[in-house]
Amino acid sequence: MSFIWIFSQVDGLVRYAIDEMLVAPSLKIFCAEGEETAALRVGRRLDKYRLLRRLGEGGFATVFAAHDLIEDRKVALKIPDERYISNSQSLEDMQREVRIMAKLDHPCVLPLKDARFIDGHFVIVFPLGEESLADRLSRRISRAAAIDYVVQMTSAVAYAHENRVLHRDIKPENFILFPEQGIQLTDFGLARIERGAHDVSASGTLGYMAPEQAMGHPSYRSDVFSLGLVIYRALAGEVPEYPFESLPAFNKLRRGLSSDLVALIRKAIDPSPKKRFRDAVAMRNAMEKIRFPLSDRSVSLKSEPSPNTLAVRRVA
């Protein structure tokens, strides 16, 4: 008995292909029996996608830039390592990531375009951005541009929390930049649906992980902490280190910012979870009340009701 799980999001359609109707409940996603896995290399074609270049490689997956030959557009392909997809728990993790991303629809969250097995490889498809926030922060960035990113990042995490999604791996590498100052949150590989109880797990990225998350107790407040550190780095160029009692480059952080925004950032990265915002929704709501985030009042914040997000407006 074989089963191929296929997801494709095109005009709101979700399609499943099943070889046989009776499938063991434990078999969530796996390659059809007997199907060979072809080697991945630049120039190779996977169905309608031609691999253009390797963008990055992590512990579990490789990301390629590719050309969609049918829609004639550039996309990013995330392809988990064969050793990773051979593990049943890893397959469940991939299914969870795909299903979580499929339910999210927000301009500041990277949309899922396609997810299925192609030539023995599980392929997850996203729009192709210009670079990550981590790449962008290696160069000088204006205060106004940084504030624009801060507002969009906060809106993205708030939207995830509104949909009960706990990200657990918020860091500059997981925000992708697009033309016209767009930025989108991605990589929900560690994300979970918040139900009030979690297995003890210290999954995350050292340097951006909240102390309680490192102890195996993640929550919305730990996502707020990670987001606060990303914002701190975007505005100060450095990141506070554990135990987070001193704030490096604090004078650089404060330079040009309103006192209200500085206070918001300090609250987000408080080492004590109870002293932080309860979630990114509360953090976004507090940010809405800061009309002028820069001390020179060159930009203002405006709430956009649909979708529920914040926008930066330059003051004439």
CATH of domain 7-127: 3.30.200.20
Single pTM value for the model: 0.85
Residue 39 confidence class, pLDDT cut points 50, 70, 90: confident
228-239 pLDDT, tens digit per residue, is 999 999 999 999
Cross-strand partners of 64: 54, 77
Taking only the tens place, the pLDDT of each residue in 244-276 is 888 999 999 999 999 999 999 999 999 999 999
Q: What percent helix, strand, coil does the chain show, rounded to 5?
A: 30, 25, 45
CB 301 within 8 A of CB 257: no
**pLDDT tops 90 at residue 21:** no
Strands annotated E in 186-308? 192-193, 299-304
**Helices (DSSP H) in 80-167: which residue ranges?**
82-85, 88-103, 133-136, 143-162
Query: What is the predicted pLDDT for the residue at 75?
Result: 98
Neighbour tally for 53: CB within 10 Å: 9
pLDDT digits (tens, 9 = 90+) for 265-308: 999 999 999 999 999 999 999 999 999 999 999 999 988 776 76
**pLDDT, tens digit (0-9, with 9 covering 90-100), for 167-223:** 999 999 999 999 999 999 999 989 999 876 655 567 889 999 999 999 999 999 999
**Contact predicate 95/27, CB 8 Å:** no
Q: Determine the CATH number of domain 131-314.
A: 1.10.510.10
Domain range summary for the chain, segments of one domain joined by +: 7-127, 131-314
